[in-house]
Structure 1
């Protein structure tokens, strides 16, 4: 979280510096200037903040690298190269390029969004009891079976309903999927292989486990990417894996995503979206 807050402050400073003109105040109202950010080095007189190097090294440590003198020297050289190229870009007027300015704004918004997600999840993350409850629920909802599934994805509910009519009139699911799906599984007639309640998206678990062999959903199902039609080709026995660290990690990730999706849905309800 601290890393993102630092990045946000840097991005905000870059986008707001010089945006407003100086405001004159009586001498008595002046406040002491904030201490200048410590510079790691200067390139043609331009300061490279020490915090830039700290962030770059921290990112590499998070990726598994050790903080060694060699890494510090590598980061130093990369920051110098970045500044040299950036100075040339400014000389060429690229800092006023509309596309680059848009990308800067988008990056700033992305950092803000990620920072908020992390902050929100730090207050709402699933606890151990919730993970155990989800495991037991999945076990009860078909945890002793594995399902061979075919699947069709459409962008709209209307498109899915058109395809559903074809399925109900007797067309084979694989043929309709091969012609209609928007995913890479199209070449396999929509076949996405054997799935368990653990591997399925939460909104699909009850849908799949309610189907018998050879049956398909009678209504489109809303899910990631659009609207889904699902057919169960086969069912076989399955032993639910033990409640170990791997399974707990999978369930915690799924619950976390569900919490975030639910929060986004609540925000969307009150959002004013329009041209």
Structure 2
């Protein structure tokens, strides 16, 4: 079958431009589509082949050719996989148009020597550094494997910290005692807790009206067994009934806290099989961070580092 150059209409050119700059609807932006190197890089047209390289039959592994530069089936396949969208003929046709547009832009930029512009040189060097560092870390960072026993031990440790009840709290945290007293006065007058939290709180969940996640503590409260809550807050929370609000601010460091128990219920402990995958990922992340930190420590032993 003979392949002939395609005459691109103004409408087709506009479509290519839109695809190249915006990406597919529900598909993949051009930059993402090209983030995986092809196993068969596109060759540039050779001087020996001349016009034949630009106009002859497409090679068997090619899906398009742009001014003699081949876009391979492997490149298209990589881009389709990177899109994380179901593979369809429509998607493939659209991504192929993206790759064509990308190649047109590349050639135009190269023709005008954009590769020598300072911002391009800097971007290329940054990309090189990122890729080189990532490859080094993949080779050097060896996290300890997470076993099934590790995951089960983590689950048992978490369960051991849980109490009879769990609480859905809201909190308002302010920086001085006077503001805390103002907050308590407004609450006693019936002002909405969430409204006051959005106005005054400088603590977590302020934008959501002070709402925090469910929490459970084994009682009586033991130091170091408070789910990363400051111990005074944990002790104050478990004394409140459902709907109860702190009668006085709880000081932790330089902050003053007012708590409310939005809901209180018997602690709901998820089954091991429901949570084991999440726990494994958490343990693997911890192992990765620990192994990475060790690589840094080892490198710093022989490094000369100066800081201001």
The TM-score range, normalised by the shorter chain, is 0.5 to 0.7
Question: Which residue in the other structure is 2:82 paired with?
Answer: 59
Tell me how far 1:127 sits from its aligned partner: 3.1
The answer on whether the counterparts of 2:171 and 2:197 sit within 8 Å (CA) in structure 1 is: no
The Cα RMSD (Å) is 4.5
SS of equivalent to 1:208? coil
Question: Which whole-Å CA distance do the structure 2 matches of 1:192 and 1:204 have between them?
Answer: 22
**Inter-partner Cα distance in structure 2 for 1:134 and 1:140:** 10
Alpha-carbon displacement from aligned partner over 1:89-145 (angstroms, at most 9, x marks no partner): 223332223223333333344445556666778864533322222111111123653
Structure 1 Cα separation of the partners of residues 152 and 202 of structure 2: 35
Q: How does 1:101-140 map to 2 (within 5 A)?
A: 101-112=121-132, 124-140=144-160
What corresponds to 2:287 in structure 1? 259
**Compared with structure 1, are the counterparts of its residues 232 and 253 closer, same or farther at alpha carbon in structure 2 (3 Å cutoff)?**
farther
How many angstroms does 1:242 deviate by?
Answer: 1.9
CA contact (8 A) 2:159 2:269 kept: yes
2:246 matched to which residue of 1?
A: none
Return the match for 1:241 from 251, 266, 270.
270
TM-score (normalised: structure 1): 0.56
Q: Contact conserved, 1:213 with 1:234, CA < 8 A, in 2?
A: no
C-alpha separation in 2, matches of 1:139 and 1:120: 35
Deviation of residue 8 (structure 1)? 7.7
Structure 1 CA distance for aligned equivalents of residues 139 and 167 of structure 2: 37
Partners of 2:251 and 2:148 lie apart in 1 by 35
Q: What corresponds to 1:223 in structure 2?
A: none
Give the 3-state SS of the residue equivalent to 2:65 in structure 1.
Answer: strand
Q: Which runs of structure 2 are paired with 1:46-195 in the superposition (5 Å)?
A: 46-60=69-83, 63-66=84-87, 68-112=88-132, 124-142=144-162, 144=164, 145-146=166-167, 148=169, 150=171, 172=180, 181=202, 185-187=205-207, 191-195=210-214
SS in 2 for 1:212: helix
Q: In 1, distance between residues paired with 2:86 and 2:139?
A: 26
Corresponding residue number in structure 1 for 2:11: none
Offset at 1:44?
Answer: 0.7
Q: Name the SS for the 2:236 alignment partner.
A: coil
| TM-score, length of structure 2 as denominator length | 0.51
Change (3 A) 1:109 1:255: farther
